[in-house]
Amino acid sequence: MGLLGLLSDPLLFLVAAAASVFGLVVHNLAQAWTAARLGDRTPVVAGFLTLEPRVHLDPFGVLLLFLLGFGWPRFVPTRLYDRREAWVALAGPVGFWLAAFAYLLLARVLPRGMGLAPVAEGLEVASLVMIRHAAVYLFPVPPLDGARLVRALGGPEVHRLMHQMESWGPVGFLLIFLVLSYTGVLATVEYGLFGLMSGILRALGV
């Protein structure tokens, strides 16, 4: 399930790991850029509009990415307390999806000869990892982007529900994540996001 299972092929592992970690950076860049475009320069002042990995990466989140195939970056701070925050929240999963699209596109155009097959396969693995992140982050479960999205769009009752779910802490998040996984909801969302990506690539003739 995690990236460490790829260690039998060092080049494939390095490509998949590097691309997956960079996907976490892309998530944060997408949110920082969106917030800045909407008039909130808080992420820019905090240094999040940069490619510097140390700014974006959470060590424990990266560790779990290697162990479980799912991790997280540092939280992008914003000061948008209206519906503009919904666009910032949505930018995170969109960033993951765009990273997945770019990785799969590169994997398909790379020649498989000249020893590049592990590179292409590593990019394909990273693309699937990013699709999983895009799907998970869409769910309205604190502290995911989906929770920020519904909080920005919802009324007082939604705010109370999100606050109650936050009080459950990591145990609540884990339980909800397991329910989504075992009921097939997560797989359905992943399939839809991957299908959209594949359809665009087919339209492009790739």
Provide the residue ranges of all domains of the chain, joining segments of one domain with +: 3-203
pTM (two decimals): 0.91
What lies within 8 Å, CB to CB, of 1 at 6+ separation is 68, 69
Is residue 165 within 8 A of residue 62, CB to CB? The reply is no
pLDDT for res 169:
66
**pLDDT averaged over the chain?**
90
Average pLDDT on 158-181 reads: 73
Q: What are the tens digits of pLDDT across the range 16-26?
A: 999 999 999 99
For 113, phi then psi, to 5°, come to: -85, -170
pLDDT over 70 (residue 167): no
Residue 1, pLDDT > 70, answer: no
Rounded CA separation 16/203 (Å): 26
Helix/strand/coil for 142: coil
One DSSP character per residue, 39-87 reads T--HHHHTT-SS--HHHHB-HHHHHHHHHHS---BPPPP----STHHHH
Identify the weakest region by mean pLDDT among 31-45, 114-128, 136-150.
136-150
pLDDT digits (tens, 9 = 90+) for 44-103: 999 999 999 999 999 999 998 999 888 899 999 999 888 899 999 999 999 999 999 999
What pLDDT score does 151 carry? Answer: 84
The answer to whether 3 touches 17, Cβ cutoff 8 Å, is yes
